[in-house]
């Protein structure tokens, strides 16, 4: 896949086999185009052409709802010690955005087991995994993590569910000693319930946080924080399994 | 390595070969101990024992100064698309904390090239890489990135330097088309200078941000943000290379 | 003045002598109307009617640019100890919003001396002071505070200027022992320059801050911070005069 | 009262009649001292001497617990339109800090009615009102606002109570048309309950917020946010009375 970037910074994801692209700024000839080229439409407007990477793909993913922002994904990865080779359970899949992001981190030595209840979401998600070339890293499963998680010795379990407190004990069983659970939820009450359920399930190193990202405007006249800002995405709770809870 | 966790949550990193550990709470017998065990000192105080992972190691690393917090590391990873197999330049090394964190993400398919001016820091860093078992993933180099970066087709360059604006054009040359630069700096003026230098070097998708992490207290009486909070670590600037700037 | 509040919470400021008001929701008969009434348009839409207070007036003021938000005004009042009877210098006037807000605090026992360079702004401002009934509390002056402040033994001086560092020494002279200076500016570099000039002028208790207001959504499903938020208005710097600087 | 400020910026509140003050830095001769003087101890250490104002007094007040910070007081004043001449109900009194702060704003034309259940607190509070010279502006009452508020046509009611939801309907009755209620509480659940009770009592213009104050360090090397910061004080909820709720 290639990403074509117009003069306003908007990104257009196109298949490498496509020979011609029709944009608002005119037609681009894509025969013999390669990453790093600067193209011009027939109307003379400039486009950058770059080989699409995971982030381009993540942002332009066919999806049903909202995706987790990079500030929160970064916090999940960094607080759960997820890296190359990690085996991670992701619930629910949605249309696969989180699984794709994590798959890029864990790589072919790792595995993402992603659970989803809705078959329509799974269908979109599997198409997304395939077109991202990650279908060997991601295993997409129809199933309800509140009933159980089939895997064991997992490094991290990530919940993006409306009722995570019903599933945190299943995460405990699925995790290796030293493994992490992360809960992502937009409501304070839900994070509180999940946190308390995590405590009851035996998790340690409990933390509930939120991350604010504030952008700066760097202008000739001076520097200031952006006047518009995303005020809230979700709260996060983390825990870690220390022992088998016998 | 094992991590022993006392009743106050403090972590003690110990070699797996050690047979006895003397803590403030008494002596622990470590013969035949394994990850997941709950131990007791001769005075009857409980310790959890868990196989140390990257995060335990990161936090307990022998070091000279402060390390980059997980909120900022997570943002760097997520905004630069760093994953399994990525090839990343890290400058400066310091005592190796950032390189170790990134090495865990890129894995054996990837590589961290870490530059440092001070030989005393390199010495500590190399010991840290070795004891983390990451010396095949991290290549530690004595050198000044303001003079040049030897690698090419790099996926991301991370600067944690006092004067990053002197090196961002070198990062441009070292990066592949589509690659990212990240600058970490505690001062607004320095981030501004780096941002402007990045713009002049040809970087696109420029952004300057800061991340605030706010913790919650979840108590019986109710939920509230923590009254004490880290107010600031550093500002971050990001850019991306679109073309060869011919 | 009366404020009419429609079903969407929008406020319409009307003179008490007006007998009929034409809104998007139909015509309101205002004969015999009084504060506390619930009115209905000829199309059956409900309006609340409340005697306008300072805040209604402040928000609906005829003006040329943006006004200082309540979070920042509150901080200025609280950090400068402004209260009933205070004598305050305000520069520049703009169209008078800050002066009106402060006049409500200092009352008839106090005084606001407000300086402005632009005669067109002063004209709008004076109309605003008059229609707010505050023209005996506010003294509107054509003049450049960078050249000097005529008053003395002032309790507080507030600067909302592009170049406050050129005027802080004039504030020092105008203040009583123990009086305060406040600087409001959207740019970090400008706040820094003002802060350093305040230090050089002899001010003590120096502080530079910013205030973030985050709103909550309280919904049936749960509580969360608002997803949209004002990310930035301005930075504030404060100082206090301890002695005559002989 | 005078405030003596030592070289570390610490403030010592002393009565004007005192002739000698013994500090850690030596003895100060206070005969013939006046506001604006720079004094020296017998050991040669410098002290500034300034006539104490409301803010000095507020910060050094004899008290039992914590006081409301200026950022939150400022927000209460600015969001409730409190000014010279306002009549405000304050519950509970505690040791009188909030009442004193508000009394400085409303002045002799206004009035603060402050309710408190605990007689020991009232005793301290009344001493504080007297020594601040505000006992004619503040009326201190033994009473439970959950049972009722005796005043009527009040401009604003401020609650700093553990269970404000039990009193907001009493505030509704006490307020004039157009008057405001403010709730200050450290817990999210309590603010939520108060907010919902305010809605049920008929309040309009409902808002729940929090204010973060972030300080800057302005140093030679550059400018940055302070690394230590108060992470949380309390949440605030506001409402306004539009009509008699018949």
Q: What was the pLDDT predicted at D62?
A: 77
DSSP string over C157-168:
EEE-SS-GGGTH
DSSP D63: -
CA distance D75 to chain B (A): 19
Q: Answer with the residue of higher pLDDT: D65 or D4.
A: D4
Mean pLDDT of B167-184: 98
For C240, which residue in chain D has the nearest alpha carbon? D50
Q: Determine, for residues D226 and B210 on separate chains, whether the beta-carbon distance falls below 8 Å.
A: no
Q: Determine, for residues D105 and C85 on separate chains, whether the beta-carbon distance falls below 8 Å.
A: no
D71 and chain B: CB distance < 8 Å anywhere?
no
Q: Determine, for residues A230 and C227 on separate chains, whether the beta-carbon distance falls below 8 Å.
A: yes
CA distance B181 to chain A (A): 14
Q: Tens digits of per-residue pLDDT, B85-140?
A: 999 999 999 999 999 999 999 999 999 999 999 999 999 999 999 989 999 999 99
How far apart are the C-alpha atoms of C238 and C80, rounded to whole Å?
8
State the span(s) of chain C assigned CATH 3.40.50.150. 62-213+229-240
Measured between beta carbons, which residues in chain D are less than 8 angstroms from residue B229? 229-232
Identify which of B73, B215, B244 has the shortest CB distance to residue A36.
B244
Mean pLDDT of A178-188: 98
For A111, which residue in chain B has the nearest alpha carbon? B84
Residue B58 structure tokens: 């990161």
User: CA A173, A176, A178: angle at the middle one, nearest 5?
Assistant: 115
Give bridge partners of residue D214 from the DSSP assignment. C210
Average pLDDT, chain C: 95
- DSSP reduced 3-state for C95: coil
Mean pLDDT of A5-24: 94
Of residues C185, C195, C165, C181, the one with CA closest to residue C234: C185
Average pLDDT, chain B: 95
CATH architecture of A57-240: 3-Layer(aba) Sandwich (3.40)
Identify which of A77, A107, A211 has the shortest CB distance to residue B211.
A211
Q: How confident is the model at residue D27 (pLDDT cuts 50, 70, 90)?
A: very high
Q: How confident is the model at residue C246 (pLDDT cuts 50, 70, 90)?
A: low
Fold classification of B2-52 (topology level) = Vcp-like ATPase; Chain A, domain 2 (3.10.330)
How far apart are the C-alpha atoms of C82 and C73, rounded to whole Å?
11
For B245, which residue in chain A has the nearest alpha carbon? A36
- DSSP reduced 3-state for B234: coil
Q: Are A132 and B81 in contact (CB under 8 A)?
A: no
Of residues B46, B43, B73, B48, the one with CA closest to residue B58: B73
How far apart are the C-alpha atoms of C160 and C158, rounded to whole Å?
7
C202 and chain D: CB distance < 8 Å anywhere?
no
Q: What was the pLDDT predicted at B63?
A: 73
The CATH number given to D64-240 is: 3.40.50.150
- Which chains are adjacent to chain B, needing at least 3 Cβ pairs under 8 Å? A, D
Q: How many CA atoms lie within 13 A of A19 on its CB side?
A: 1
- The answer, yes or no, to whether residue D66 has pLDDT greater than 90, is no
- The answer, yes or no, to whether residue D111 has pLDDT greater than 90, is yes
Q: How confident is the model at residue B35 (pLDDT cuts 50, 70, 90)?
A: very high
- The answer, yes or no, to whether residue A213 has pLDDT greater than 80, is yes
- The answer, yes or no, to whether residue A64 has pLDDT greater than 80, is no
Q: What was the pLDDT predicted at C137?
A: 98
Count of CB atoms within 10 A of residue A63's CB? 16
How far apart are the C-alpha atoms of D123 and B36, rounded to whole Å?
57
Interface of D with B in 104-163 (CB under 8 A): none
- DSSP reduced 3-state for A165: helix
Mean pLDDT of D188-200: 98
How far apart are the C-alpha atoms of D183 and D210, rounded to whole Å?
11
Mean pLDDT of D31-44: 95
B173 and chain A: CB distance < 8 Å anywhere?
no
D43: CB partners within 8 A, 6+ apart: D25, D26
C209 and chain D: CB distance < 8 Å anywhere?
yes
CA distance A242 to chain B (A): 6
How far apart are the C-alpha atoms of B72 and C135, rounded to whole Å?
53
**Phi, psi dihedrals of residue D87, rounded to the nearest 5°:** -110, 115
- The answer, yes or no, to whether residue B175 has pLDDT greater than 90, is yes
Q: Are D22 and D70 in contact (CB under 8 A)?
A: no
C221 and chain A: CB distance < 8 Å anywhere?
yes
D221 and chain C: CB distance < 8 Å anywhere?
no
Q: Answer with the residue of higher pLDDT: A60 or C100.
A: C100
A135 burial via Cβ count (<10 Å: 0-12, 13-18, 19+): middle
How far apart are the C-alpha atoms of C170 and C34, rounded to whole Å?
48
Q: What was the pLDDT predicted at C62?
A: 77
Of residues C80, C82, C113, C75, the one with CA closest to residue C96: C113
Interface test with A, best of C209, C216, C224, C236 (most A CBs within 10 A): C224
Average pLDDT, chain D: 95
CA distance A138 to chain C (A): 31
State the span(s) of chain D assigned CATH 3.40.50.150. 64-240
Measured between beta carbons, which residues in chain B are less than 8 angstroms from residue A85? 84, 107
Mean pLDDT of C69-87: 98
Q: Determine, for residues D231 and B221 on separate chains, whether the beta-carbon distance falls below 8 Å.
A: no
Q: What was the pLDDT predicted at A245?
A: 79
Q: How confident is the model at residue A199 (pLDDT cuts 50, 70, 90)?
A: very high
B223 and chain D: CB distance < 8 Å anywhere?
yes
Q: What was the pLDDT predicted at C187?
A: 98
How far apart are the C-alpha atoms of B229 and C218, rounded to whole Å?
25
For C191, which residue in chain D has the nearest alpha carbon? D218
Q: How confident is the model at residue A60 (pLDDT cuts 50, 70, 90)?
A: confident
Q: What was the pLDDT predicted at B130?
A: 94
Of residues B7, B124, B10, the one with CA closest to residue B63: B124
- DSSP reduced 3-state for D50: strand
DSSP string over C38-77:
EEE-TT--EEEEEE--HHHHHHH---SS----HHHHHHHH
Domain B64-213+228-240 listed as CATH 2.60.40.420: no
Q: What was the pLDDT predicted at D148?
A: 97
Question: What is the model's pTM?
Answer: 0.96
State the span(s) of chain A assigned CATH 3.40.50.150. 57-240
Question: Would you tell me which CATH number, out of the four given (3.90.1150.10, 3.40.50.150, 3.40.190.10, 3.30.160.20), belongs to the domain C62-213+229-240?
Answer: 3.40.50.150
Give bridge partners of residue C185 from the DSSP assignment. C235
Q: Determine, for residues C216 and D209 on separate chains, whether the beta-carbon distance falls below 8 Å.
A: yes
Q: Tens digits of per-residue pLDDT, B188-222?
A: 999 999 999 999 999 999 999 999 999 999 999 99
How far apart are the C-alpha atoms of D175 and D170, rounded to whole Å?
9
Q: Determine, for residues C226 and A233 on separate chains, whether the beta-carbon distance falls below 8 Å.
A: no
B32 and chain D: CB distance < 8 Å anywhere?
no
Q: Determine, for residues B76 and A71 on separate chains, whether the beta-carbon distance falls below 8 Å.
A: no
How far apart are the C-alpha atoms of A172 and A156, rounded to whole Å?
10
**Phi, psi dihedrals of residue C125, rounded to the nearest 5°:** -60, -45
Interface test with D, best of C16, C35, C107 (most D CBs within 10 A): C107
Q: How confident is the model at residue B246 (pLDDT cuts 50, 70, 90)?
A: low
State the span(s) of chain B assigned CATH 3.10.330.20. 2-52
Residue A40 structure tokens: 């011009």
- The answer, yes or no, to whether residue D246 has pLDDT greater than 70, is no
End-to-end, the C-alpha distance of chain B in Å comes to 50
CA distance C187 to chain D (A): 12
Percent of chain D with pLDDT over 90: 92
Give bridge partners of residue C111 from the DSSP assignment. C87
Which helix (H) or strand (E) segment is B60 a member of?
A: helix B54-60
Give the count of Cβ contacts less than 8 A between chain A and B: 177
- The answer, yes or no, to whether residue D230 has pLDDT greater than 90, is yes
- Which chains are adjacent to chain C, needing at least 3 Cβ pairs under 8 Å? A, D
How far apart are the C-alpha atoms of A206 and A240, rounded to whole Å?
7
A224 and chain B: CB distance < 8 Å anywhere?
no
């Amino acid at each position: 896949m290639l990403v074509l970037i117009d003069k306003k910074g908007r990104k257009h994801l196109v298949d490498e086999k496509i020979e011609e692209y029709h944009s608002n700024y005119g037609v681009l000839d894509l025969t013999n185009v390669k990453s790093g080229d600067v193209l011009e439409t027939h109307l003379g407007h400039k486009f950058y052409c770059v080989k699409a990477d995971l982030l381009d793909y993540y942002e332009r993913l066919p999806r049903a709802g909202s995706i987790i922002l990079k500030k929160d994904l970064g916090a999940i990865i960094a607080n759960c010690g997820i890296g190359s080779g990690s085996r991670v359970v992701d619930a629910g899949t949605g249309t696969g955005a989180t699984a794709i992001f994590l798959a890029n981190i864990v790589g072919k030595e790792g595995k993402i087991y992603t659970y989803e209840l809705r078959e329509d979401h799974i269908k979109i998600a599997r198409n997304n995994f395939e077109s991202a070339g990650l279908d060997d890293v991601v295993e997409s499963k129809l199933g309800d993590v509140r009933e159980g998680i089939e895997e064991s010795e997992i490094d991290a379990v990530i919940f993006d569910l409306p009722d995570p407190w019903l599933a945190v004990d299943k995460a405990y069983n699925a995790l290796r000693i030293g493994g992490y659970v992360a809960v992502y939820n937009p409501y304070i009450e839900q994070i509180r319930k999940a946190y308390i359920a995590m405590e009851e399930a035996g998790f340690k190193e409990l933390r509930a946080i939120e991350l604010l990202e504030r952008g700066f405007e760097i202008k000739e006249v001076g520097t200031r924080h952006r006047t518009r800002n995303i005020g809230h995405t979700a709260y996060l709770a983390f825990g870690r399994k220390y022992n088998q809870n016998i």
